[in-house]
C-alpha cells in the first residue's frame, strides 16, 4: 500500500549571508520500507532520531523531503496541490499531544463537521449524522458535540482527534506517539480503540513510539531508527526474540519490565544520541556500540537481509 | 526494620479554587526508613507531586497550603520549623529532583555556579573547596569531561546530562532523604536506564532514603523497596514491591498492572480500566474509585473504605 | 535725557527673549534678518525711530543733479571687529556681492537699480544709477545693507555667519549656541554711533544675550522671574498676566503692519464687487480688536498702516466700510447669494491667526457665510497661495512704505505675490503713475489715489493694525520704543 | 557573534536606503519649498530662481536624490539650506542635547523602575504592589506634554527650584529628565513586575528554593537576572522612542534638541537637515537594536548568533 | 509623544497563551469583571462613549459658540470648566472633544490593524521570501523615529483629523504586523494547525478560521493598549498644532491653545488634561484587566 524509497529530509539550519550557505540537519537520511494493507508498522527510536519527521514526510507535509513515497502506486512527493487534497482523504495523522492538536476555539461538533465541509461530503443532515456516528465509533456521545476541547480529559481528546482523523474515511493513519502522553490506564483504552478501529475499518497504521512494549503490542512489523536511518526492521515477534542490531538489543534491554524479581540490567548502553547536525561517520551507532571496530567508524554498513522479513544494517552478524 | 527517618501522618494539602480550599492530597500517611526507596505511583493528578512538594514545603503560597498533618523528619516536624530552619534542611538534609531536566536548571548561570551555590549555602567551605566538591560530584554522576562542564550553561547539555547535574546537585550535600519527582519520565528509555542505575549506585553508597515518584511500573520494579499507590489524593494501597506485583489487592492496582502491554505476550487484547479519574471537586462520597471499579457495591457508594492491613499490604477497599 | 539718579551696571547682561533662533548671521544669504544683525553691523545710512534718514557710516552724501549719481563720504577711523579698517572697498564689495546673481542673495533685487559702485578713494565712493531712485537711502539703511569686512568674509569661509560675523557695529558676536542663545559683547572701540542717538560712543551695556525661547508661556514666565529683561513682539495672549506686574513696563507703538482678509478676486463669487463689499461690511473689527487683540491693535480701514504718515490715505476711515450686518446681507442678496455661501477660510498656523479665523468664522456666519477653517504651516500656506487654491484667507504684511501696494496688487505680480489675484488696469495705471514721479509729494498723492480706489473696489478686507508691544523689565533704564529694532546703545543701560 | 554583527550591519544598509527614499519622497512631495523662507516674502521670481539654482533645487527629483545619495556615500550629509552650514555639524550639536536627556532618563528609569517592579512582584497583591502599580498606571496615563507642563509650572515657576528654560547645567536637565524618565519608569516598572511574576513561576526558581537558598538570593540572583532579559531587549526600541518623542519634551521645555530641530526643519523644508537627522536617528536606533542583541547574548547564554 | 508604553508589555502580550480557552464566554466575562480595574476602566470607557454619542444633549453650549466678552472666565456655575480665550465654554468643548478622541482611536486602530493583520498573517503563515520582505519593511518602519515621521507625513498631507489618523496609522501598523506574525509563527508549529493541513484545508480557511481566532487574544490586548496611545498621540500632535482644525475641540488642541494662558487661566489646560488622563487611565486599566483575564496565570 505504501512504499517509501530512500526518503531523505534535510533541514537547513541557520542562515548564511548567501542563500546556499548554512548547515544541513539530516533528520531523515535515506530510509526505505513498505506497509501492506491492514498492517501496522511500528517505528521506534530515541528522541530526535527522525520518527516524526518520517511521519510528516510521508504525508507530504514537508517541502524538504526527497526520495519517493508511493501511496497506492501514486507518487506523493511530486504531486500537485489538488491531487494531494484527494490523497489527504486517504491518509491521516494523529499527534502525540492531545492538548495541542485541537483548535481550542472550535466546538467539537464544528471541528468534526468542518472536515466534512472541506471535503464536500454530504449535505447538512448527512454531515450531522456522520458526526454522531464518528463520536460513537470512538466511544463518546453526541452530548459532547457542543463542548469545547478544554472541557475534555486527555484521553477523551485523543478520542476526538481520532474521530476527526476518521471523518474523511482514511485508509492509512500515522499515529505519532499517540499514546505516549497518556496515563497507563488511559493508554490501554486508546490502544484498544485503535485496534478495534483497525479491525472494523481495515485501517493501516504507521505507529510511532518510543515505548517498545507498547509498539510491540501494537505492530505487526517494527522498524528501529537511529539518527535518521533504519538500523533494523523485522516482524515484531522476530525482532524481540531475535534482535540482530546492537542498538535494537540495547533498546530492548532498557525496557524495564514490571517485575521486581527480574534482576534488570540497567547498564545497557553508554552515552547519548549524537547531534544529527554532525552525525558520526561510518556506522552512526559506532560511538556507543560495544562491538564497534575501526571498520564501523569508516564504512557505513549496508542493509542486509536476515530472512524474508528481517533486515539489519550492521557489519556484524549477531545471533 | 529501622526507625523511619521520615514519617508522614495525615498530610492534607489543599488548593484554592474559587475561594474554596480543595484537598489535592487527603490524609496521607506513610513512612520511609533509612536507605529505603519508596515509590509512589498513580494516575496523573492523583497528588504525587503535591505530596513531594509538601515535604519540601514548596507549595506555592498563593495557590494552596498544607492544611493538616505532620511531616516528621528525624523527630522534628518540618511543618513547625521556622523558614530559616527549613532552609537549612532543604537541599542539605532533604533534597529534591524534579521531572523536567530542561527547566529545573537556571538557564543564565553555569552548571558550576549552580552546584557551588548549593555547597556554599550549606557547608562552610571556600569557593575553591566548593569547586572541587562540585567537580567530584560531577565525576560521580558520570559526566564526561566534568571540569569543562562546570563552565557550561544548562542549554549546552543534553537532557540526560542535565538530569545528571540535577541529581548531582541534589546529592552533593549527602542528604538523608532524596525526593525524586518523576526524574526519568522525560527521558529516553536508554537514558532512563542510565539514570536509574546511577541513582541505585549512589544510593547504595550513601544510604540515602529515596521517595521516588513515577507512573511507570517498570521503573517501580527496578527501584522500589516499598510501593505506595495513590488515587485521587488518597493512598489506596501500600506494601513492599514484591507483594504489589505478585499480589495486588486493590482493584485499581490490579487494573493498572493489567493495563501495561507485556512484551512477552503481545497479541493479547489489553485490559483497560474503564472511565477516567474524577475531576477535583467532583469527588462523591464513598470510595473514590467507585465509578471505575468492577467490584463496586452499595457499601462502596456510601462510605469510603479505611486503609486496612491485609496480608502485609495496606489496602483501601471494602471488597477484600 | 536721563541724567541719572540710578547707577549703571555695565557688567550686567541684558537678556532678550526671542521665539526662534537666527538661521544664519550672514545677511547676504538670508532674508530672515535677526535682530543681532542690527547691533553687529552698521549701515551707510541710519534711520531714526520716526523713519528719518541720518548719517551712519557715511558722514554725509551728495546727489547729482539728475539723481543718477550718489557720492558717500565714509567716516574715518572706523574699524571692524577684527581690527581692520573700514574702507570704501568693503562697502563696494558688500553691495556687489549681494547684487551678483551667483551669490543668489535674496536681497539682490533690492539693489537692482544700482548700476555700478565706484571707489573714489579709501573713504569715498559713488553709486551710479540707471534712473532716479528715491528709495536708495531706504535700501542703504536696511539690515540687508550692513557692511561686512571683505577680508574677514573671505577668510572665514563656511564658518562666516555661524561662528563669525564681522561688522563695525556697537556689539560683537561673542558666542552663538545654536538654538539656545546668541551672546553679543560690547565693542569697546565703538565711537561712530549715529548722531541722532543719545549715546553714540561706547555701548552702556556690556553684554546682550539673545535667548531663544520658542514657547510663549515660557517667555512670560522667564520675564516674570526676571531671567529675561525684554520680550518683544508680545502677543495678546501674553498680555493678561504681565500687565499686572509692576516690574514690567509695556511699550506700545504702531507698527508698519496690516492684517487683512483676502480672496481670489478673479473667481466666483469674489469677482463680484458686491460680495467683496458685503464681506467688508460683515466684519466687526472693533470686537476683534477688543477681544482677540485685547486692545493692542487698531482698526484698519484702508490698505496702509497710519504709521506711514504721508503715504497713508487719511480718507480711509470715511471711505471705508462700517460694520453692518444688514447691509452685508443685502449686498449678498443682490449678488445672488441670498441663500448663503460656504467657503474655506485659510490661515497660517500661528496662535493669533487661528483665533482670528475662529472669530471671523462666527462673524461671517451672521451674514450667512459658512466657513471651514484650514490652518497651514507657513511653507504650505505660501505654496497654496501660489497655486491659487485659496478662497478666503488671512494675511498680514509688514512694510515701511507704499511700495507694498504695487507688490501685492499690480497685475505684473500675478499670481504671486498678488495672491488676491487682482488684475485691474486702473490699479496698474494708478500705481505706475504714483511710482514714476520724481518727487515725494507727488508720489504720496498718487498713492492716496491708489488707496482710495482699492477701498472702493473692496479688494481686501483690511482688519487690524497690530501694535508693536515690547515688555521691558524695570532693570532696563531709558528704554526707547522702536517699531523695528530697538537700539540698545541709544542710551539704554542696566540698573 | 562577530559574524552576526557584521551581517546585521550589512542588513542596516538596505533599511537605511529604504528610509532615505521614503523621507525624500515625503519631503519633496510636501507642498512649499525653502526658497520662500530664504528669499523672504518680497523677493521677485528671478531671485527665487537664482536661489533655487544655487541650492540645486531646480534639478529633477531623481537627480537631487542621487546627488544626495552620492554625497552620503562620501560621508557628507550636505549643507543646511537655511543655516548655510554643514548638516553634520548642526545635527552634532543638537543630537548631543537630546542624547544626554535620553540617556539620563533611561538610567533614571531603570534605577527607579527595577526595584519598584521587583518589590511589586514579590509583594504581589499587597499595598506596596497596588500603590506602585497604580502610580505607574497614572504615570503612563499622563501625556508627556501635560506632565512636563505641570512639572514646569510647579517646580520651576512656582517654587523656582529649577530654571524655566534653556540648557547647559545639570539643573536644566532635571525636569526634562524627570518627565521622560518617570514616564518611562512607569512603563518599565510594570514590565519588570510582569516579567518577574513570569519568572517566579518557573521551575528553576522552585529548584533554587529546594536547594535551601535564602529568599533574597532566590529573587535577586536567580529571578532578577532572568526577568531582566525581556526588558533589555527593549533597549533599542526605547532609544528610538526617546528620539522620536523628544520633540514634545523639547517643545515644552524650549530645549534645542534634535527633535525640535527636525520639526522646525520639516516646516521650513530644510530638506538636508530632515534627511540627515532622520538617517542618523534611524541609524542610531538600528545600532541600539544591535547593542540590544549583544546585550541579550550577554545576559542570556542561550542566545547564540 | 508617549508611545513609549506602546511596547510596555510586548513581552507580556507575547505571553498571552494563544491556546488559552476563552470559549467559555460567560466564565471569561465573569473573571474579567471580578477585577476592580476592569470595572473602573470599562465604566470610564462607557461614560466616555455615552458622552460622545450624546454630546449635543449634555453640553450646555455649542462647542464653537464664541462669546468674546466672557473670555477667560474662571470656572463657575455657568461655565463649569470656565471659558477659553474666545469665551467658549470649556466644559462643552471637552464634552465634544470625547468624539474626536474616540474617532482618532478607532480610526488609527482600524487602519493599522487592517495593514497589520494582512501583512502579519501573510508573513507569519507563508514564511520564506515574503516573510523576509515584509519583515524588512517593518524593520524600516521600526527604525523611524515615529513621532517625527508622523509630523513629516502631516506636513506633506496638510494638517487635518483625517490626515492625522492616516499618519498615525502609517507609523503604527508595524506593531500589529510583528505581533501577528509572531503569533502566526508559533501557531504554525502547533499541532492543531498542522492537523488542518493534514485534513486538506485551504490557506484562507486555515488563516482566517483557525489561526486568526487563536491570535485574537493578544491582538485585542494590543488594541486596548494602542487605544490610549492613539489618544495621547492625537493630543500630542494637536498640541504641536498638527491635529484637528479649529474650531474642532480636540483635547490636545484645547491644551495647546491654553498653554499660553497657563499663568492667567490655568483651567484651560487643567480640565481637558485631567479628563484626557482619566480616559487613558480607563483604557489602560481595562487593557490590563483584559490581559489578566485572558491569561489567568498572571493573576491569582
Ligand atoms: N522543521 C524542522 N526544522 C529543523 N529541524 C527539525 C525540524 N523538525 C525536526 N527537526 C530536527 O530533526 C530531528 C528529528 O526530529 P523528529 O521530530 O523527527 O524526532 P523524533 O524521532 O520524532 O523525536 P521525539 O521522540 O523527540 O519526538 C531533530 O533533531 C529535530 O530537531
Ligand atoms: N499550583 C497548583 N494550583 C492548583 N492546583 C494544583 C496545583 N498543583 C497541583 N494542583 C492540583 O493538585 C492535584 C494533584 O496534582 P499533582 O501535581 O500532585 O499530580 P501528580 O500525581 O503529580 O500528577 P502527574 O503524574 O501528572 O505529575 C491536581 O488535581 C492538581 O490540579
Ligand atoms: Mg516526535
Ligand atoms: Mg507530578
Ligand atoms: Ni493692554
Domain boundaries, chain A: 2-90+170-312
C-alpha cell at A294: 575501526
C-beta atoms of C225 and D164 within 8 A: yes
Residue E21 with chain A: CB contacts under 8 Å: 104, 148-150
pLDDT tens profile B40-51: 998 888 889 999
- Maximum mean pLDDT: which of A123-127, A171-175, C28-32, C401-405: A171-175
pLDDT at C186 over 70: yes
A:E CB pairs within 8 Å: 69
Could you tell me how many residues make up chain E? 300
Helix (H) or strand (E) holding D108: helix D87-122
CA of C376 to the centre of ligand 5 (A): 29
Q: Provide Rg for chain B, Cα atoms.
A: 20
Spatial distance between the Cα atoms of A49 and E95, rounded to a whole number of angstroms: 67
Q: How confident is the model at residue A174 (pLDDT cuts 50, 70, 90)?
A: very high
Whether B47 is in the pocket of ligand 2, judged by its Cβ within 6 Å, is: yes
pLDDT tens profile C225-270: 888 999 988 887 777 778 888 889 888 887 888 999 999 998 888 8
Helix (H) or strand (E) holding A139: none
Q: Helix, strand, coil proportions of chain A in percent (round to 5)?
A: 35, 25, 40
Whether A63 is in the pocket of ligand 1, judged by its Cβ within 6 Å, is: no
List CB contacts of C29: < 8 A, sequence separation 6 or more: C103, C105, C106, C161, D38, D84
Helices B111-122 & B127-140 angle (0-180, nearest 10): 120
Of all protein residues, whose CA lies closest to atom 11 belonging to ligand 1? A27
Q: Are strands C461-466 and C297-299 parallel, antiparallel or unpaired?
A: antiparallel
Q: How confident is the model at residue A169 (pLDDT cuts 50, 70, 90)?
A: confident
Q: Hey, how many other C-beta atoms are within 10 angstroms of the C-beta on C80?
A: 23
User: Residue C455: which of C427, C484, C488 has the closest Cα?
Assistant: C427
Biggest alpha carbon–alpha carbon distance for chain D: 86
Q: What is the per-residue pLDDT for C319?
A: 86
C-alpha cell at C245: 506686574
Residue E198 with chain A: CB contacts under 8 Å: 59, 61, 88, 91-93
Query: Is residue D131 located within the same domain as residue D65?
Result: no
Of all protein residues, whose CA lies closest to atom 1 belonging to ligand 2? B63
> Per CB distance under 8 Å, which residues of B are interface residues toward A?
43-44, 158-161, 188-194, 196-197, 200, 215-222, 224, 241-242, 245, 255-257, 259-263, 266, 269-274, 276-277
pLDDT tens profile E202-247: 888 899 888 888 888 888 888 888 888 888 888 888 888 788 887 8
CA of A228 to the centre of ligand 1 (A): 10
C-alpha cell at E144: 523611524
Helices E267-294 & D127-141 angle (0-180, nearest 10): 130
pLDDT tens profile B275-310: 777 776 677 788 888 888 888 888 888 888 888 888
Query: Is residue D55 located within the same domain as residue D182?
Result: no
Report the first-to-last Cα separation within chain C, whole angstroms. 16
pLDDT tens profile D272-282: 888 888 888 88
Whether B49 is in the pocket of ligand 2, judged by its Cβ within 6 Å, is: yes
pLDDT tens profile A104-137: 888 888 888 888 888 887 788 888 898 988 888 8
Query: Is residue D159 located within the same domain as residue D25?
Result: no
Of all protein residues, whose CA lies closest to atom 3 belonging to ligand 1? A11
pTM, full prediction: 0.83
For residue E145, give the CATH number of its domain. 1.10.3720.10
Task: Please give the tally of structural domains in chain D.
Answer: 2
Whether A53 is in the pocket of ligand 1, judged by its Cβ within 6 Å, is: yes
Average pLDDT over residues E6-24: 39
- What does CATH list as the number for B6-93+173-249? 3.40.50.300
Burial class (CB in 10 A: 0-12, 13-18, 19+), E231: buried
Please report, for chain B, the start and end positions of each structural domain, with discontinuous segments joined by +: 6-93+173-249
Q: What is the per-residue pLDDT for E141?
A: 80
Whether B280 is in the pocket of ligand 2, judged by its Cβ within 6 Å, is: yes
C-alpha cell at E266: 490655568
Average pLDDT over residues C396-403: 83
Domain end, chosen from D73, D97, D114, is at: D73
Ligand 2 atom nearest to CA at B51: 18
User: Residue B209: which of B314, B93, B77 has the closest Cα?
Assistant: B93
C-beta atoms of D41 and C162 within 8 A: no
Peptide bond preceding C255: is omega within 30 degrees of 0, i.e. cis? no
Pick from A10, A26, A43, A51 the residue to mutate for probing ligand 1's pocket: most ligand atoms within 8 Å of its CB: A51
Candidate from E69, E241, E264 with C-beta closest to C241: E264
Spatial distance between the Cα atoms of A236 and A224, rounded to a whole number of angstroms: 11
Residue C349 with chain E: CB contacts under 8 Å: 159, 241
Ligand 1 atom nearest to CA at A277: 29
Q: Using CA coordinates, name the residue in chain D closest to E280.
A: D141
List CB contacts of C256: < 8 A, sequence separation 6 or more: C305, C307, C308, C398, C399, C400, C483
Ligand 1 atom nearest to CA at A276: 29
Q: What is the per-residue pLDDT for E19?
A: 35
Q: Nearest-CA distance from D199 to chain E in Å? A: 11
- The ligand minimizing its distance to the Cα of C469 is 5
Residue B200 with chain A: CB contacts under 8 Å: 266
DSSP E151-218: HHHHHHH-S-HHHHHHHHHHHHHHHHHHHHHHHHHHHHHSHHHHHHHHTT--HHHIIIIIIHHHHHHH
D155 φ, ψ (degrees, to nearest 5): -85, -30
pLDDT tens profile D165-193: 878 788 888 999 999 888 888 888 888 88
pLDDT at C351 over 80: no
Helices D2-29 & E146-157 angle (0-180, nearest 10): 20
CA of A72 to the centre of ligand 1 (A): 27
Amino acid at each position: 500500500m505504501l512504499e517509501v524509497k530512500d526518503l531523505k529530509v534535510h533541514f537547513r539550519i541557520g542562515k548564511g549571508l548567501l542563500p546556499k550557505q548554512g548547515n544541513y540537519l539530516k533528520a531523515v537520511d535515506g530510509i526505505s520500507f513498505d506497509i501492506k494493507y491492514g498492517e501496522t508498522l511500528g517505528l521506534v527510536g530515541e528522541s530526535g532520531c527522525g520518527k516524526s519527521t518520517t511521519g510528516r514526510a510521508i504525508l507530504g507535509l514537508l517541502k524538504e523531503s526527497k526520495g519517493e513515497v508511493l501511496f497506492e502506486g501514486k507518487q506523493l512527493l511530486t504531486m500537485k496541490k489538488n491531487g494531494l487534497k484527494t490523497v489527504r482523504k486517504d491518509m491521516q495523522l494523529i499527534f502525540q499531544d492531545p492538548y495541542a492538536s485541537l483548535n481550542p476555539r472550535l466546538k467539537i461538533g464544528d471541528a468534526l463537521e468542518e472536515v466534512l465541509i472541506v471535503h464536500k461530503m454530504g449535505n447538512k443532515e448527512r454531515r450531522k449524522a456522520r458526526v454522531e456516528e464518528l463520536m460513537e465509533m470512538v466511544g463518546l456521545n453526541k452530548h459532547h458535540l457542543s463542548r469545547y476541547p478544554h472541557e475534555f480529559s486527555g484521553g477523551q481528546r485523543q478520542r476526538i482527534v481520532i474521530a476527526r482523523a476518521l471523518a474523511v474515511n482514511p485508509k492509512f493513519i500515522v499515529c505519532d506517539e499517540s499514546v505516549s502522553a497518556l496515563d497507563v490506564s488511559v493508554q490501554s483504552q486508546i490502544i484498544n480503540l485503535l485496534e478495534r478501529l483497525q479491525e472494523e475499518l481495515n485501517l493501516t497504521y504507521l505507529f510511532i513510539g518510543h515505548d517498545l512494549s507498547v509498539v510491540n503490542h501494537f505492530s505487526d512489523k517494527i522498524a528501529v531508527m537511529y539518527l535518521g536511518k533504519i538500523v533494523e526492521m523485522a516482524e515484531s515477534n522476530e525482532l524481540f526474540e531475535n534482535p540482530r542490531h546492537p542498538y535494537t538489543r540495547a533498546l530492548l534491554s532498557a525496557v524495564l519490565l514490571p517485575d521486581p524479581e527480574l534482576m534488570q540490567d540497567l547498564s545497557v548502553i553508554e552515552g547519548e544520541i549524537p547531534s544529527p547536525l554532525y552525525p558520526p561517520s561510518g556506522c552512526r551507532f559506532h560511538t556507543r556500540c560495544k562491538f564497534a571496530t575501526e571498520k564501523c567508524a569508516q564504512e557505513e554498513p549496508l542493509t542486509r537481509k536476515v530472512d524474508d522479513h528481517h533486515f539489519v544494517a550492521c557489519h556484524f552478524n549477531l545471533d | 526494620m529501622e526507625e523511619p527517618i521520615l514519617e508522614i501522618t495525615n498530610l492534607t494539602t489543599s488548593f484554592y479554587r474559587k475561594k474554596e480550599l480543595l484537598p489535592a492530597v487527603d490524609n496521607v500517611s506513610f513512612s520511609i526508613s533509612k536507605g529505603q526507596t519508596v515509590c509512589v505511583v498513580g494516575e496523573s493528578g492523583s497528588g504525587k507531586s503535591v505530596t513531594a512538594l509538601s515535604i519540601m514545603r514548596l507549595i506555592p503560597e498563593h495557590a494552596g497550603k498544607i492544611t493538616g498533618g505532620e511531616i516528621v523528619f528525624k523527630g522534628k516536624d518540618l511543618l513547625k520549623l521556622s523558614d530559616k530552619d527549613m532552609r537549612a534542611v532543604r537541599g542539605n538534609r532533604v533534597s529534591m529532583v524534579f521531572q523536567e531536566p530542561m527547566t529545573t536548571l537556571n538557564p543564565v548561570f553555569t552548571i558550576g555556579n549552580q552546584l557551588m551555590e548549593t555547597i556554599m549555602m550549606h557547608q562552610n567551605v571556600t569557593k575553591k573547596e566548593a569547586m572541587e566538591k562540585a567537580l567530584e560530584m560531577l565525576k560521580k554522576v558520570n559526566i564526561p569531561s566534568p571540569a569543562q562542564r562546570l563552565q557550561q550553561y544548562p542549554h549546552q547539555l543534553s537532557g540526560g546530562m542535565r538530569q545528571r547535574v540535577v541529581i548531582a546537585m541534589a546529592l552533593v550535600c549527602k542528604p538523608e532523604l532524596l525526593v525524586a519527582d518523576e526524574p526519568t519520565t522525560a527521558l529516553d528509555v536508554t537514558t532512563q536506564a542510565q539514570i536509574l542505575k546511577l541513582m541505585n549506585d549512589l544510593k547504595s553508597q550513601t544510604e540515602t532514603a529515596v521517595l521516588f515518584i513515577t507512573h511507570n511500573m517498570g521503573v517501580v520494579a527496578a527501584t522500589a523497596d516499598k510501593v505506595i499507590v495513590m488515587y485521587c489524593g488518597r493512598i489506596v494501597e501500600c506494601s513492599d514491591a514484591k507483594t504489589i506485583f505478585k499480589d495486588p489487592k486493590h482493584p485499581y492496582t490490579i487494573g493498572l498492572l493489567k493495563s501495561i502491554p507485556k512484551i512477552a505476550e503481545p497479541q493479547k487484547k489489553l485490559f483497560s480500566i474503564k472511565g477516567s479519574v474524577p475531576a477535583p471537586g467532583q469527588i462523591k462520597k464513598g470510595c473514590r474509585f467507585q465509578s471505575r471499579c468492577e467490584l463496586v457495591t452499595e457499601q462502596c457508594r456510601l462510605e469510603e473504605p479505611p486503609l486496612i492491613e491485609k496480608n502485609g499490604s495496606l489496602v483501601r477497599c471494602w471488597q477484600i | 535725557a536721563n541724567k541719572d539718579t540710578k547707577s549703571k551696571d555695565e557688567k550686567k547682561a541684558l537678556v532678550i527673549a526671542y521665539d526662534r533662533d537666527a538661521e544664519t548671521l550672514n545677511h547676504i544669504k538670508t532674508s530672515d534678518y535677526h535682530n543681532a544683525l542690527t547691533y553687529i553691523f552698521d549701515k551707510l545710512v541710519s534711520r531714526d525711530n520716526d523713519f528719518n534718514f541720518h548719517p551712519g557710516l557715511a558722514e554725509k552724501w551728495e546727489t547729482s543733479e539728475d539723481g543718477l549719481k550718489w557720492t558717500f563720504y565714509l567716516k574715518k577711523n572706523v574699524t571692524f571687529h577684527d581690527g581692520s579698517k573700514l574702507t570704501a572697498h568693503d562697502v563696494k564689495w558688500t553691495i556687489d556681492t549681494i547684487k551678483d546673481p551667483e551669490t543668489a542673495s535674496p536681497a539682490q533685487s533690492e539693489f537692482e537699480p544700482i548700476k555700478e559702485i565706484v571707489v573714489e578713494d579709501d573713504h569715498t565712493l559713488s553709486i551710479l544709477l540707471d534712473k532716479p531712485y528715491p528709495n536708495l537711502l531706504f535700501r542703504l539703511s536696511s539690515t540687508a545693507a550692513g557692511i561686512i569686512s571683505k577680508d574677514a568674509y573671505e577668510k572665514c569661509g563656511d564658518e562666516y555667519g555661524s561662528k563669525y560675523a564681522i561688522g563695525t557695529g556697537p556689539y560683537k558676536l561673542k558666542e552663538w549656541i545654536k538654538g539656545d542663545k546668541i551672546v553679543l559683547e560690547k565693542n569697546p572701540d565703538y565711537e561712530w554711533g549715529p548722531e541722532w542717538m543719545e549715546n553714540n560712543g561706547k555701548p552702556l551695556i556690556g553684554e546682550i544675550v539673545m535667548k531663544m525661547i520658542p514657547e510663549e508661556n515660557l517667555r512670560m514666565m522667564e520675564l516674570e522671574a526676571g531671567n529675561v529683561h525684554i520680550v518683544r513682539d508680545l502677543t495678546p495672549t501674553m498680555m493678561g498676566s504681565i500687565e499686572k506686574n509692576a516690574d514690567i513696563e509695556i511699550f506700545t507703538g504702531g507698527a508698519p503692519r496690516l492684517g487683512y482678509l483676502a480672496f481670489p478676486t478673479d473667481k466666483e463669487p469674489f469677482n463680484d464687487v458686491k460680495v467683496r463689499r458685503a464681506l467688508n461690511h460683515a466684519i466687526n473689527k472693533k470686537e476683534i480688536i477688543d477681544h482677540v487683540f485685547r486692545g493692542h491693535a487698531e482698526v484698519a480701514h484702508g490698505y496702509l498702516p497710519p504709521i506711514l504718515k504721508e503715504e497713508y490715505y487719511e480718507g480711509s476711515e470715511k471711505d471705508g466700510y462700517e460694520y453692518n450686518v444688514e447691509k452685508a446681507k443685502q449686498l449678498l442678496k443682490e449678488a445672488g447669494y441670498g441663500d448663503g455661501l460656504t467657503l474655506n477660510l485659510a490661515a497660517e498656523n500661528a496662535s493669533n491667526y487661528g483665533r482670528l479665523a475662529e472669530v471671523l468664522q462666527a462673524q461671517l456666519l451672521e451674514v450667512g457665510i459658512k466657513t471651514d477653517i484650514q490652518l497651514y504651516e507657513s511653507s504650505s500656506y505660501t505654496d497654496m497661495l501660489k497655486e491659487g487654491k485659496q478662497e478666503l484667507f488671512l494675511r498680514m504684511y509688514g512694510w515701511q512704505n507704499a511700495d507694498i501696494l504695487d507688490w501685492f496688487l499690480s497685475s505684473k505680480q500675478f499670481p504671486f505675490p498678488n495672491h488676491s489675484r487682482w488684475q485691474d488696469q486702473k490699479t496698474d495705471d494708478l500705481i505706475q503713475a504714483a511710482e514714476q514721479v520724481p518727487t515725494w509729494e507727488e508720489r504720496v498723492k498718487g498713492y492716496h489715489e491708489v488707496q482710495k480706489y482699492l477701498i472702493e473696489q473692496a479688494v481686501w478686507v483690511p482688519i487690524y493694525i497690530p501694535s508693536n508691544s515690547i515688555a521691558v523689565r524695570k532693570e532696563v533704564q531709558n528704554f526707547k520704543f522702536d517699531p523695528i529694532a530697538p537700539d540698545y546703545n541709544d542710551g539704554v543701560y542696566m540698573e | 557573534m562577530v559574524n552576526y554583527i557584521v551581517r546585521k550591519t550589512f542588513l542596516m544598509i538596505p533599511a537605511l536606503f529604504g528610509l532615505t527614499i521614503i523621507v525624500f519622497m515625503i519631503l519633496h512631495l510636501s507642498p512649499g519649498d525653502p526658497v520662500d523662507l530664504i528669499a523672504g516674502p518680497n523677493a521677485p521670481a528671478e531671485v527665487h530662481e537664482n536661489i533655487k539654482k544655487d541650492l540645486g533645487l531646480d534639478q529633477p527629483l531623481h537627480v537631487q536624490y542621487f546627488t544626495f545619495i552620492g554625497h552620503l556615500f562620501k560621508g557628507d550629509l550636505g549643507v543646511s539650506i537655511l543655516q548655510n552650514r554643514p548638516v553634520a555639524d548642526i545635527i552634532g550639536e543638537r543630537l548631543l542635547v537630546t542624547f544626554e536627556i535620553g540617556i539620563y532618563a533611561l538610567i533614571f528609569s531603570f534605577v527607579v523602575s527595577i526595584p519598584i517592579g521587583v518589590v511589586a512582584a514579590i509583594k504581589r497583591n499587597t499595598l506596596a504592589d497596588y500603590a506602585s502599580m497604580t502610580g505607574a498606571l497614572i504615570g503612563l496615563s499622563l501625556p508627556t506634554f501635560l506632565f512636563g507642563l505641570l512639572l514646569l509650572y510647579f517646580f520651576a515657576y512656582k517654587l523656582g527650584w529649577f530654571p524655566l528654560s534653556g540648557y547647559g547645567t545639570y539643573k536644566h536637565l532635571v525636569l526634562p529628565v524627570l518627565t521622560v524618565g518617570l514616564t518611562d519608569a512607569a512603563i518599565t516598572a510594570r514590565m519588570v513586575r510582569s516579567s518577574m511574576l513570569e519568572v517566579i513561576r518557573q521551575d528553576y526558581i522552585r529548584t533554587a528554593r529546594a536547594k535551601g537558598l535564602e529568599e533574597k538570593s532566590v529573587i535577586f540572583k536567580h529571578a532578577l537576572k532572568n526577568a531582566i532579559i525581556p526588558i533589555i531587549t527593549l533597549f533599542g526600541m526605547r532609544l528610538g522612542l526617546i528620539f522620536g518623542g523628544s520633540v514634545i519634551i523639547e517643545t515644552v521645555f524650549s530645549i534645542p534638541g534634535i527633535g525640535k530641530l527636525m520639526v522646525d526643519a520639516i516646516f521650513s523644508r530644510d530638506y538636508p537637515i530632515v534627511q540627515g537627522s532622520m538617517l542618523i536617528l534611524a541609524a542610531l536606533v538600528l545600532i541600539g537594536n544591535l547593542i540590544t542583541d549583544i546585550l541579550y547574548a550577554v545576559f542570556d547564554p542561550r542566545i547564540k548568533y | 509623544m508617549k508611545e513609549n508604553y506602546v511596547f510596555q508589555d510586548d513581552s507580556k502580550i507575547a505571553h498571552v497563551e494563544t491556546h488559552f480557552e476563552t470559549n467559555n464566554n460567560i466564565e471569561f466575562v465573569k473573571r474579567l469583571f471580578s477585577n476592580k480595574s476592569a470595572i473602573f476602566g470599562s465604566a470610564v470607557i462607557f461614560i466616555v462613549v455615552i458622552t460622545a454619542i450624546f454630546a449635543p444633549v449634555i453640553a450646555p453650549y455649542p462647542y464653537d459658540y464664541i462669546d468674546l466678552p466672557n473670555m477667560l472666565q474662571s470656572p463657575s456655575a455657568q461655565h463649569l470648566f470656565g471659558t477659553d480665550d474666545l469665551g467658549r465654554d470649556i466644559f462643552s468643548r471637552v464634552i465634544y472633544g470625547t468624539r474626536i478622541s474616540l474617532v482618532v482611536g478607532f480610526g488609527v486602530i482600524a487602519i493599522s490593524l487592517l495593514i497589520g493583520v494582512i501583512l502579519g498573517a501573510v508573513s507569519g503563515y507563508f514564511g520564506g521570501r515574503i516573510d523576509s520582505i515584509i519583515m524588512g519593511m517593518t524593520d524600516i518602519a521600526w527604525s523611524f523615529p515615529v513621532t517625527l515621521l508622523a509630523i513629516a507625513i502631516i506636513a506633506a498631507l496638510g494638517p487635518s483629523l483625517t490626515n492625522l489618523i492616516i499618519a498615525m496609522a502609517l507609523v503604527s501598523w508595524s506593531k500589529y504586523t510583528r505581533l501577528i506574525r509572531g503569533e502566526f509563527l508559533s501557531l504554525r508549529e502547533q499541532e492543531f494547525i498542522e492537523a488542518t493541513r493534514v485534513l486538506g484545508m485551504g490557506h484562507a480557511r486555515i488563516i482566517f478560521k483557525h489561526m486568526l481566532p487563536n491570535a485574537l487574544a493578544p491582538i485585542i490586548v494590543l488594541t486596548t493598549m494602542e487605544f490610549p496611545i492613539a489618544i495621547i498621540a492625537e493630543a500630542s500632535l494637536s498640541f504641536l498644532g498638527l491635529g484637528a482644525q479649529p474650531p474642532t475641540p480636540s483635547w490636545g488642541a484645547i491644551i495647546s491653545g491654553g498653554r499660553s494662558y497657563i499663568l492667567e487661566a490655568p483651567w484651560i489646560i487643567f480640565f481637558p488634561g485631567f479628563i484626557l488622563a482619566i480616559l487613558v487611565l480607563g483604557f489602560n486599566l481595562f487593557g490590563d484587566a483584559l490581559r489578566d483575564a485572558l491569561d489567568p496565570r498572571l493573576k491569582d
